[in-house]
Amino acid sequence: MNFGIAVHGGAGTMPRKLITPEIETACRNALKKAMQSGFAIIRDGGSSLDAVEAAVIELENFELFNAGKGSVFTNKGKHEMDAGIMDGKTLQCGAVAGVEHIKNPVALAKKILHHSEHILLLNDGAEEFAKMHRVEFADDDYFFTQLRYDQYLKAKNKDIIVLDHVDDKKLGTVGAVALDKEGNLAAATSTGGMTNKLFGRVGDSPIIGAGTYANNRTCAVSCTGHGEYFIQHVVAYDIHCLMEYKNMTLQQATEHVINDKLKNINAEGGLIAIDTKGNICLPFNTSGMYRGWMKSENDFFTAIY
């Protein structure tokens, strides 16, 4: 029986000399811990949906990744977080955008999936829904990290919006995809967005079909990269369509989109994807992407470059 999970902690330009061994070890450990928590759920017969949520919560709690704690700052010096989650069996999905005080935005997205007739809730409305469903809140201090704040001041001074500046040790968006023992697929993505982004800007992560998509007919996908391009090219859904309508394999579809289509227009990023047979692909067109997969306790992989 094939089942498994893959995770990412964002793609970007990652000059090797700037990632210290300590940072590399901390990131790989965070990826492994996230995979272990998701994997334990599917190993014990739980759903891929619960597994991707559990994995993304771990990654949101790890402050070096740009999601939950450690999220980047908007041009107003605040945190506005986006997250999306999708169940490949039912095609139910839930998403939040621009939330400021939700400890784990992916958990709120999952509450919306289960308990709302809507799919995407924004800032205050999302937070009101969170209160009703007893989702955990955190104050500004919880999300603050000096590292992100310094990056923000630097970007603001230069008047630029930054996708990745690993030279300043900013790491990326997080996500997970999984296949469970019942053959069900799920995907989840969570992010703080881009440093110095215009307040109110929403990226691809919570846009179903752009940054996040799962469908039991084909695959589950979680993206990272320059969100505007991922929205324009409906990247996650495009992978599904290439498989469903063009009969491409997961490998062909993901390579085509990341290393052909997006690369040709200088759209930086990558994705993680898993299909109904448990094949996993982790392509990226940047110098690195924090990524990993786990198929059993002893069969796992993590990498950055």
Q: Which residues are catalytic?
A: 173
Q: Which stretch binds ligand ASP (CB under 6 A): 42-50, 176-184, 187-195, 232-240?
A: 187-195
Closest to ligand ASP by CB, 42 or 292: 292
What are the C-alpha distances in Å from 68 to residues 59, 63, 72, 100?
8, 8, 9, 9
Beta strands in the chain (DSSP E): 4-12, 81-87, 93-99, 120-122, 174-179, 185-191, 212-214, 219-225, 269-275, 280-281, 288-296, 299-303
Contact 173, 224 (CB under 8 A): yes
x/- binding map, residues 189-208, to ligand ASP, per CB under 6 A?
--x-xx--------xxx---
x/- binding map, residues 92-131, to ligand ASP, per CB under 6 A?
----------------------------------------
Closest to ligand ASP by CB, 58 or 204: 204
Contact 69, 60 (CB under 8 A): yes
Coil, strand or helix at 29: helix
Closest to ligand ASP by CB, 38 or 193: 193
Give min distance, CB of 142 to ligand ASP, in A. Answer: 20
173 in contact with ligand ASP (CB under 6 A): yes
Contact 22, 302 (CB under 8 A): no
Closest to ligand ASP by CB, 47 or 189: 189
Coil, strand or helix at 9: strand
Of 5, 6, 7, 10, the residue at the interface with ligand ASP (CB under 6 A) is 10
Q: Which stretch binds ligand ASP (CB under 6 A): 49-57, 111-119, 146-154, 223-231?
A: 223-231
**Token couple for 262:** 């997006």
Q: What is the DSSP letter of 62?
A: S
Helix axes 123-132, 105-115, angle to 10 degrees: 70
What would the 3-class secondary structure string for 139-178 be?
CHHHHCCHHHHHHHHHHHHHCCCECCCHHHCCCCCEEEEE
What are the C-alpha distances in Å from 40 to residues 4, 280, 294?
10, 18, 10
Closest to ligand ASP by CB, 290 or 300: 290
Give min distance, CB of 45 to ligand ASP, in A. Answer: 32
Of 70, 84, 105, 172, the residue at the interface with ligand ASP (CB under 6 A) is 172
Size of the site for ligand ASP (CB under 6 A): 14
Q: Rule CB under 6 A: which residues touch ligand ASP?
A: 10, 163, 172-173, 191, 193-194, 203-205, 211, 224-225, 227
